[in-house]
Structure 1
Amino acid sequence: MNTTTVLVVGAALLAGYVTGRARPGARLWGWALRDRTPRQPAWWIAQLVLAVPVAVLLTVRLVVRPRRTVAQLRARHRPPERSPAVRFFA
């Protein structure tokens, strides 16, 4: 391995360590879950922060199992079937 590779790998490991210690995702999530009202601009930004993981998970599901995901989304919005008519005299 040459010096450049060692420096790049070392920088990547250091960046991962610092990011793990700082936990920016947990801080951002905690900020988004604070009590706010829709009248505040920060509430709308928080909604975007909370929607990103949902969008990522849905995208991953669509990539991994597209047929099943689409079928589940369609089944979720189907109206329930009607029950049979009541018969008073048999």
Structure 2
Amino acid sequence: MKNFKEVTKKKQVEKAKDIVRNANWENEKVEMAHYADYHFQFPSNNSDSSEYKIASYLLWISPNGENLEIVTDSERYVKLTKQDSADLYDILTGEALMK
């Protein structure tokens, strides 16, 4: 059984998008040790066209439990700062990252 959560509060969605958009992305293909801990998506309609696309992300909690690591299907990777990790995790799960 898969858990599913939809974030609908506009302020939370915008903050999550800002964290992802402003992250220090690397164009690098990475191999992670296990399947992603979470998968999240943003609807994204490109202002240049009428196409409606989904931006999809795979997310891992780092071994130290303090950072989130994200990989995209276009082979981009980022390890978020502790603060961005905590904020994004709270938005996506409703829980604190560090227990």
TM over 0.5, shorter chain: no
**Bigger proportion of residues as strand:** 2
**TM-score for both structures, normalised by structure 1:** 0.26
**Bigger proportion of residues as helix:** 1
Larger RCO (CA within 8 A; separation ≥ 6): 2
**Larger of the two Rg values belongs to structure:** 1
**TM-score for both structures, normalised by structure 2:** 0.24
